Amino acid sequence: MNNPANIVFGTPLSSTQLNATASVQRTFTYNPGTWITGLTNGTMTRGQVLRALIESSKLYQKFYNEAFVILQYFGYLRRDADSLYLQWIQTLNQKGDYRTMINGFLNSTEYRRRFGQ
């Protein structure tokens, strides 16, 4: 079978292809130079490069707290973030205290009003 990453977008997958695509496991490191070379030489597909970028620890470290905070706004308050968004990110970056932040959302007046309290 061909490399699952080479399947053209929009092509229906058989159960075997879907399983092979979902099971592809590789260890990637954040190295844009290697990715560019891989694309140029044809040793990596665009999908593999995108996956390498998304799974890189550098990207994870850079955006994890931002994503975590925005999900709290969406999940608890059911709205977009406000001006305190940056303050929550700063708190997490400095202290790494997720419990305090979650407690802030759970005990906020806005959240409690959703339940008639």
Instruction: Kindly report the number of other CB atoms within 10 A of residue 113's CB atom.
Output: 9
Residue 4 predicted with pLDDT over 90: no
If 0-12 CB within 10 Å is exposed, 13-18 middle and 19+ buried, where does residue 44 land?
A: buried
* Per-residue model confidence as pLDDT tens digits over 92-114: 999 999 999 999 999 999 999 99
- CA 15/CA 34 separation, integer angstroms: 32
Distance of CA 14 to the CA centre of its chain: 27
* Confidence band, pLDDT 50/70/90 cuts, at residue 27: very low
**pTM of the complete model:** 0.59
User: What φ, ψ does residue 25 adopt, rounded to 5°?
Assistant: -125, 130
- What's residue 35's pLDDT? 84
